[in-house]
Amino acid sequence: MENKKILIFPACHIIMPSTSNRRAAFFLAAEEYVASSLPQDNYFFSWILNPTVVLGRNQRINQEVNLDFCQTEKIDVIRRRSGGGCIFADNGNIMFSLITGTGAVEPIFAAYAQNVAHSLQCLGADVYVSGRNDIMLNGHGKICGNAFYHSANRNIVHGTMLYDTNTRLMKGALRPDLEKLKSAGVKSVRKRIGLLKDTISCHIEDLRTHLIHSLTNRSITLTEKDVKKIETIESEYYKKEFLYGRHNSSLLICSDRIEGCGKIEIRFDLSGNMINAVELSGDFFEWNDSLTVFQETFSGIEFSPASIKEAIRNNCPEKSIRGLSQESLIALLTPDKLESTNYQPYTN
């Protein structure tokens, strides 16, 4: 383990032009750019975000994130290319990126976690590495979660450190795996995490500076030309097929009998969280071709309460069915009326 630490740390610190108000995708893209464009070395940089949820590569967005809450609270939602679980970050968190050369991932991953833990211990934090290289604050909970993936001939490790956080936004934005919480012997997201501000006295920017000094001994500054190239990579993260389309299509069924209208059953074929197609059935009477109207209303939009309501109010599909009101149609699409196949809709 010591040899691996010597090979990886101290690393080269990446300095960027101003990154205020940059979204998580920019920094994830920066990892890719460093991995593909800079000379062989071990590179490290840190970043701080506005409220953001970052999904793991293979997670279902509706199972992990309350999208309606995030939209209301203006919380950004991004998917990363590495595996692992969903995390919430805000300006009380420090995010880290480490880009290394080729080699076995496990020793690199372990060396990263051990070095970060040692840096915190030097400040008096009672921390230790646990499980899949998480960093735990003794008696308080998890303060660092880390993930990794391969990129061409490089390895990329990244993580988040909880100094402080808005727990209301965290609890509202995330949908934790209840079985995972149960197996960990905790009842909520907040009880599973620890906050460094409770045990060390330094400010978050001082902590960030300390970690950079502990883990690096040289630096390289990216240029505005580099930033433009990073922004090109960044744009790929905003494509809906990347954010929502990691999984095969699934079927969501909304069905109810509405007084004065009859039985209505709407089937949404979903790819991730996007509506691919709509089917309509029931014993209602039509004023015109209701299936075409519903398909034109809902196909291609995000399946979220806000998007559904906006589509209904803009297109008035209820007018194609006798006795169906706008309020009844919106009520039909509430979570308690939904059944799913290989899909879990979010609830408020």
Confidence check: pLDDT of 344 > 90: no
- Tell me the pairing of strands 262-271 and 250-258: antiparallel
How confident is the model at residue 245, as a pLDDT? 56
Of 131 and 47, which is predicted with more confidence? 47
Cβ neighbours of residue 90 closer than 8 Å, sequence gap 6 or more: 49, 50, 51, 52, 165, 166, 169, 170
- Residues 147-182 have pLDDT tens digits of 888 887 899 999 999 999 999 999 999 987 544 444
How confident is the model at residue 310, as a pLDDT? 95
pTM, two decimal places: 0.74
54 & 120 share domain: yes
- Tell me the pairing of strands 43-47 and 11-15: parallel
165 & 268 share domain: no
Query: For residue 346, is it within any domain?
Result: no
177 & 271 share domain: no
How confident is the model at residue 271, as a pLDDT? 77
**Per DSSP, what are the bridge partners of residue 221?**
15
22: nearest Cα among 105, 89, 67: 89
Query: For residue 298, is it within any domain?
Result: yes
- Residues 179-231 have pLDDT tens digits of 444 444 444 455 578 999 999 999 999 999 999 999 999 999 999 999 999 99
- Range in 128-137, 193-202, 291-300, 334-343 with the lowest mean pLDDT: 334-343
Tokens of 236: 């790929």
How confident is the model at residue 265, as a pLDDT? 87
151 & 48 share domain: yes
Query: For residue 348, is it within any domain?
Result: no
Q: Span 110-128, mean pLDDT?
A: 95
**Per DSSP, what are the bridge partners of residue 204?**
none
- Residues 243-284 have pLDDT tens digits of 875 544 567 888 888 988 888 889 888 877 789 889 888 888
**Considering 243, 260, 295, which residue would you say is the last residue of a domain?**
243
Give the Cα separation of 182 and 176 in Å (integer). 10
Using pLDDT thresholds of 50, 70 and 90, give the confidence band for residue 114.
very high
**Per DSSP, what are the bridge partners of residue 137?**
127, 141
Q: Please give the residue range of the domain that contains residue 56.
A: 2-243
**Residues of the chain with pLDDT > 90: what percent?**
57
C-alpha to C-alpha distances, 50 to 21, 91, 177, 302, nearest whole angstrom: 7, 6, 24, 23
Q: 268 and 254 in contact (C-beta within 8 Å)?
A: yes
155 & 263 share domain: no
266 & 231 share domain: no
